[in-house]
C-alpha cells in the first residue's frame, strides 16, 4: 500500500438534506426543489477537500453491506477518496442524518441516528499506513481510535488537524494535548477552558497544548494564537445557501494548506475562502473545488500573498 498524504478518521455520515419551502402543507404531499443525499461528517468531509485538491487521501471507517454503506462508498469515490483504508464490517452502518436547512438564514439543524454504527477499534487501525502519512484529519467521534492514532504518531513529522465539536472534557483535553493543529468551534473551546473571548480561550488552551491553536465562530471568522499575538481571519461574505459542513470544509482546506506549504495567515485565508464557497451549495461536499477549478474561481477578495501561492 503506497503512502498517503492525508488520512482522515471520524464519523461516517450519510446526510439527507432538505430546504423547506416557504409554505408547508402539513399533512399533505408536496413537491420541493432541494432534497439532496450526500456524504457527511467532519473529518470525512474535510478529507474530501484534500482529495479533491489532488492529495492522496484515505479515510478510516467501518463499511458494511447495506444501502447506507453503499451510498457512503459512492460519495467518497465521487470525491476521490481512496477506498484502501475502509474496514469491511458487514453489520456496520453509517450514521444517518436528516438535515433541515433554513430557507431564510441558511442555518442547518441536524437530526441523526447511530443505530448499527460500529466505531473503529484500535486493533483494526492500519498502523503501517499511519507511519507514512503526512497529515491526519481527526474528529472527536471515533474516540478510542482517534486517541490511538495520535499516540502512535507522537514524535513523527506528521501533522494532525483536530476537529472537536463535543465530548467528555477530559477526552477533549487529551486530544488537544496530542494534536499539532487544533481547530475548535468557539463553543467547544469555551466549554473546555471556561473562558469567553477568543483571545482568553486561546491563551488558556495554550496551557494544555503546544500545537497551533485556532478557534472559529462562523460568520465572525477565526482566530489563531501566534507568538506575536492573536491573528484574526474574517469570514468571506457570500449569499449563503446552506451552512452544513462549512466548518468541516474549513478544516480540510487548512490541512491542504499545510501540504501546500502555506504560512499560517494564508492557510487560514484559504480555509475561509473554500468554506465560503461551500456555503453557496446544498450540503458540505457539493461546492468543494478541484485543484483545476481554483484558477477559474473569483479570487478578487484574496490577499496578494495567497494569490501568488495559488499560482505556484
For 82-132, the pLDDT digits (tens) are: 999 999 999 999 999 999 999 999 999 999 999 999 999 999 999 999 999
The topology (CATH level 3) of 6-22+33-310 is 3.40.1190
- pLDDT average, residue stretch 141-154: 97
2 pLDDT higher than 80: no
Q: Which three cell numbers stand for residue 242?
A: 446552506
User: According to the model, what pLDDT value does residue 133 have?
Assistant: 97
Q: What is the pLDDT of residue 21?
A: 86
- Report in angstroms the alpha-carbon separations of 298 from 68, 273, 295, 302, 308: 36, 10, 8, 9, 14
pLDDT band at 286 (very low <50, low <70, confident <90, very high): very high
What residues pair up with 14 in beta bridges, in sequence order?
39, 96
Nearest Cα neighbor of 249 from 215, 276, 228, 267 is 276
Q: How many CB atoms lie within 10 A of CB 312?
A: 7
User: pLDDT tens, 203-261?
Assistant: 999 999 999 999 999 999 999 999 999 999 999 999 999 999 999 999 999 999 999 99
Residue 25: pLDDT over 90? no
User: What are the residues whose beta carbons fall under 8 Å from the beta carbon of 25, sequence distance 6 or more?
Assistant: none
Per-residue pLDDT, averaged over 40-61, amounts to: 98
- Phi first, then psi: give them for residue 149, nearest 5 degrees: -60, -45
Dihedral of the CA atoms 252, 61, 143, 110 (nearest 10)? 70
Going by C-beta distance under 8 Å and a sequence separation of 6 or more, which residues neighbour residue 77?
A: 83
The span from the CA of 52 to the CA of 291, in Å, is 7
Amino acid at each position: 500500500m503506497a503512502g498517503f498524504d492525508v488520512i482522515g478518521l471520524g464519523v461516517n455520515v450519510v446526510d439527507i438534506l432538505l430546504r423547506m419551502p416557504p409554505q408547508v402543507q402539513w399533512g399533505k404531499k408536496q413537491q420541493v426543489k432541494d432534497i439532496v443525499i450526500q456524504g457527511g461528517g467532519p473529518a470525512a468531509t474535510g478529507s474530501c477537500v484534500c482529495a479533491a485538491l489532488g492529495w492522496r487521501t484515505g479515510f478510516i471507517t467501518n463499511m458494511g453491506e447495506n444501502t447506507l454503506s453503499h451510498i457512503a462508498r459512492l460519495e467518497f469515490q465521487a470525491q476521490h477518496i481512496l477506498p484502501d483504508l475502509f474496514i469491511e464490517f458487514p453489520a456496520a452502518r453509517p450514521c444517518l442524518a436528516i438535515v433541515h436547512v433554513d430557507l431564510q438564514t441558511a442555518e442547518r439543524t441536524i437530526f441523526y441516528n447511530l443505530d448499527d454504527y460500529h466505531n473503529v477499534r484500535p486493533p483494526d487501525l492500519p498502523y503501517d499506513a499511519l507511519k507514512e502519512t503526512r497529515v491526519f484529519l481527526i474528529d472527536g467521534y471515533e474516540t478510542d481510535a482517534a486517541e490511538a492514532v495520535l499516540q502512535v504518531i507522537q514524535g513523527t513529522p506528521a501533522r494532525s488537524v483536530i476537529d472537536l465539536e463535543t465530548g467528555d472534557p477530559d477526552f477533549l483535553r487529551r486530544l488537544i494535548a496530542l494534536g499539532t493543529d487544533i481547530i475548535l468551534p468557539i463553543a467547544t473551546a469555551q466549554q473546555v477552558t471556561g473562558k469567553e473571548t477568543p483571545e482568553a480561550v486561546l491563551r488558556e488552551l495554550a496551557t494544555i497544548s503546544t500545537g497551533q491553536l485556532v478557534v472559529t465562530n462562523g460568520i465572525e471568522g477565526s482566530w489563531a494564537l501566534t507568538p506575536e499575538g492573536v491573528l484574526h481571519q474574517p469570514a468571506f461574505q457570500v449569499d449563503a445557501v446552506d451552512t452544513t459542513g462549512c466548518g468541516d470544509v474549513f478544516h480540510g482546506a487548512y490541512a491542504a494548506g499545510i501540504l501546500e506549504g502555506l504560512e499560517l495567515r494564508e492557510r487560514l485565508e484559504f480555509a475561509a475562502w473554500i468554506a465560503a464557497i461551500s456555503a453557496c451549495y446544498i450540503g458540505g461536499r457539493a461546492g468543494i473545488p478541484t485543484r483545476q477549478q481554483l484558477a477559474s474561481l473569483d479570487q478578487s477578495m484574496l490577499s496578494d500573498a495567497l494569490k501568488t501561492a495559488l499560482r505556484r
